[in-house]
Amino acid sequence: MPKVLIIDDEKDILESLSSILKDEGFHVMTAADGREGLSIYGKEKPQIVLLDVWMPEVDGLQVLKQILDMDKDAVVIVISGHGTISTAVEAVKLGAYDFLEKPLSIDKVLEVISRSLAGEGRMTGTVKDVRIEISKGLNIRTQKTIGKSIVVYGVGLHSGVKTGMILLPMPEDSGIVFEHIPDGERIPAYIDYVYSVGYASSVKGKNCIVRTIEHLLATCHMYGITNLLVKVSEEIPIFDGSAIEICKKIEEAGVVEQKEGVEPLKIQEKVSLSSLNDTQYLSIEPSDVFEVDYVLEHAKPIGTQRYHFAGDINDFVREIAPARTFGFIKDFERLAKMGLASGGRIDNVMMNVIILNDEGVVNTKLRFEDEFVRHKILDVIGDIYLLNRPVIGKIMAKHTGHIENIALVKELKRRFYESDLPR
């Protein structure tokens, strides 16, 4: 019978959560403040600690540090009624296993406890409200998640606000899911939840939006990560405008193969978008591998660039992931008037997106001569993963962006998976 220690100064939380967990078969101990909690932990060594952040005298983060000093492998789940992404990030950075927001969802509590016990106990409440079924077939690939929780800091491109996110492992068949902090709403990284496109891809639930998801999804796509929980506020950090920092964090966490499989979408017939203007083209056709052939036609100083990517994860990390977001000064000024892209200001030293005027790049040195077209491929790789499965086929693109990418994903879903995938 796993031991669970609840440390919270709210009597109602202690009583209600204790009662529920006892009914679920756990041996539950409670403490009304940090000092009492530390004393019980030292004597009982529970497998799980549910720890409130905001407590008098000794706050939760101090208690967390002391518990981890006693046992560096302790599983501490931090809870808070005043959750912000900064608090969540700080808690996980210090060593917390996860962060939950009050009012608590018992399904989420049980899910996190189950994950932390690596399958022990009862597995109830596994993202069932947003669960995406992953079909199995002859050409299945192994589902994957990350090896441990990781914290990532950054700035939002369109908000310009310092932010961060927490990436957590998830069980098979969960899919990639965003959890908004502090609201707690979960939104699948799936085409039916796409909210807005153009300058970035975003998803929306009933109440919350998560913006600029394409670089994270591109990284997950190429690493084969199918199950992941992403705790974030309103926007995924943009870092330097590329995906290379996300790749480094995934490498730090490690990629873990799981028991179940996922069936890729293997393109059997050519699919083309027919409603594009004369300067654009976007299609996907049969191929033995996933590949993208992109032609970018732009006025000077960019000009015409073409790049063909058909590599593995090592090629992606070397050739595509470092390519950064780019834009013209006049475009950033226009977006700023719309309340967007404030993170792309030249004077924002925390960013290094590529900014151009009519003469050339004004704020940095290019990593590749054709960095612009490589970045367009990065966006394609991320957007196509909104099908929630790997894709085997060759994408041919000319001067297209998120709007066209999303249109192609919707067409693929309509043709191949309308009857199989969730609505």
Structure tokens at 33: 């403040």
Asked if 237 and 152 touch (Cβ cutoff 8 Å), the reply is yes
Nearest-angstrom CA–CA distance, 401 and 383: 10
Nearest-angstrom CA–CA distance, 26 and 24: 6
Other beta carbons within 10 angstroms of residue 245's beta carbon come to 19
The secondary structure element, H or E, covering residue 13 is helix 11-23
Nearest-angstrom CA–CA distance, 318 and 316: 5
Counting Cα atoms < 13 Å in the Cβ hemisphere of 300 gives: 1
DSSP state letters, 52-107: ES--SSS-HHHHHHHHHHH-TT-EEEEEESS--HHHHHHHHHHT-SEEEESSPPHH
Question: 158, 215, 221, 402: which one is catalytic?
Answer: 402
Nearest-angstrom CA–CA distance, 335 and 343: 11
Asked if 139 and 160 touch (Cβ cutoff 8 Å), the reply is no
Nearest-angstrom CA–CA distance, 153 and 134: 31
180 among known catalytic residues:
no
List the one residue out of 94, 124, 176 whose CA is nearest residue 385: 176
Angle at 255 between CA 250 and CA 260, to 5 degrees: 140
List the one residue out of 172, 117, 111 whose CA is nearest residue 140: 172
Asked if 270 and 249 touch (Cβ cutoff 8 Å), the reply is no
Asked if 19 and 42 touch (Cβ cutoff 8 Å), the reply is no
Query: Residue 283 — φ and ψ, nearest 5°?
Result: -150, 165
> Could you list the active site residues?
402
